[in-house]
Amino acid sequence: MSRRFLVRALAMAHKELMHILRDPQMLGFALLMPVMLILLFGFAVSFDVENLPLALVDQDRTPASRKLTEAFTASKTFEIVARLDEPSEAETLFRSGAARAALVIPAGFERASLHGPEAVAQLLVDGADNTTATVALGYANAVALSSSQQAIVRAVGSFAPPIDARVRTFFNPALRSAIFLVPGLMVMVLTMLAVMLTALTVAREYERGSMEQLFATPVGRVEIILGKLGPYFFIGQVQVLLVLTMGVGIFEVPVRGSLVAVFVLASVFLLAMLMQGLFISVMTRNQMLASQLAAISTFLPALLLSGFIFPIDSMPPPLKIIATILPPRYLVHGLRAILLRGVPLSEIVADIVPMFVFFAVLLVAATKRFKREVA
């Protein structure tokens, strides 16, 4: 009996492989998409704020005002795009989007900084872009603080702040957002592609009428599902390899842990996502509907509920529960742990188990819902 099972499941897998090989477009799509998506998202998604267009309104024109300006332009964060005479002109530039921030140094800035009571410089920020504004404000505060310290040192001779926080960033010393984001991005790309791979396969057989023929043979439901899973699992592995190579090669994501751990983690994830695709296919029996559901059920959860961008800990409870059920968050967490922190396989078991449970539950559910009746 079990030999027959194997013969039938292998026949199923072989047939599925032939379908894939007969359809070079589909295969090309499956292998090109990860490369395209990683490139597209990898260069677009970044939290590193650079070259913010800054309008300078220097009404003081003194060494002190030039020094403050230099402090703002020393890093790549700001780039001076205009030099204006009046602060009111800055608003026009904000409206057109030509400038995102304006540094206003009023006349008398130097005098005030040397003789008190206080020197006031003003930073105008375009608050419509919240991320940029936050970064600009943080940068401005830092500049103001360090300029103040220097001024105190000049005046008093020496200065030690009562509390000196010395921050050292582990694993990503330059705080490059790519290192943090690219593993999450890899997860998003893999989620979308893996579910899409299998979402159409069962629905296609229903629509073409071959499912009825299959059901008239002794082939079992589990044999059909496992047979269909097999070939796509290998395509999925190739996608993992492509995505990983791109992340490491182009975005300089480090590989501090073992590749074996990555392989194990990714394999369980693939099984879970391919199973989600099959489940959708079995439930809908309709290719159109299946592809829509595949897109909806992967893109948003992988983007929003995976911890890829937004921390899951700060989500409202219902979303937290959904995020806890779905596999993407575990791959995001596990990949970051292995790649960035060099954590061994034994320490990501907590990420592997929930994904496997997801796979097993969907396997059982799909098998149960897989009606042998064809009305």
Interface positions with another protein (CB under 8 A): 3-4, 7-8, 10-12, 14-15, 18-19, 22-23, 208-210, 212-219, 372-375
Report whether 147 contacts 118 (CB < 8 A): no
Q: Decide whether 118 or 373 has the Cβ nearer to another protein.
A: 373
CA gap 286, 300 in Å, rounded: 22
Q: Decide whether 10 or 123 has the Cβ nearer to another protein.
A: 10
Instruction: Give which of 359, 4, 39 is closest to 198, Cα–Cα.
Output: 359
Q: Decide whether 12 or 71 has the Cβ nearer to another protein.
A: 12
Minimum Å distance from CB 51 to another protein? 51
Q: Decide whether 54 or 219 has the Cβ nearer to another protein.
A: 219
Minimum Å distance from CB 233 to another protein? 19
CA gap 300, 367 in Å, rounded: 26
Q: Decide whether 9 or 93 has the Cβ nearer to another protein.
A: 9
Minimum Å distance from CB 7 to another protein? 5
Minimum Å distance from CB 212 to another protein? 5
Q: Decide whether 3 or 168 has the Cβ nearer to another protein.
A: 3
Minimum Å distance from CB 235 to another protein? 17
Q: Decide whether 13 or 135 has the Cβ nearer to another protein.
A: 13
Q: Which amino acid is at 338?
A: I
Minimum Å distance from CB 291 to another protein? 19
First-residue to last-residue Cα distance in the chain = 29
Instruction: Give which of 202, 334, 199 is closest to 273, Cα–Cα.
Output: 199
CA gap 93, 84 in Å, rounded: 10
Minimum Å distance from CB 277 to another protein? 20
- Residue 306 CA from chain centroid, whole number: 8
- Sheet hosting strand 122-125, strand order edge to edge: 78-83, 52-58, 101-105, 122-125
Minimum Å distance from CB 224 to another protein? 9
| Cα-based distances in Å from 34 to 30, 173, 194, 239, 303 | 7, 28, 10, 6, 16
CA gap 325, 312 in Å, rounded: 12
Minimum Å distance from CB 276 to another protein? 25
Q: Decide whether 135 or 219 has the Cβ nearer to another protein.
A: 219
Reduced 3-state DSSP string for 48-98: CCCCEEEEEEECCCCHHHHHHHHHHHCCCCEEEEEECCCCHHHHHHHHHCC
Classify residue 124 by its DSSP letter: E
Place of tokens 């993407």: 328
Q: Decide whether 207 or 347 has the Cβ nearer to another protein.
A: 207
Report whether 278 contacts 225 (CB < 8 A): yes
Any residues with CB less than 8 A from the CB of 231 and at least 6 apart, and which? 13, 16, 17, 20
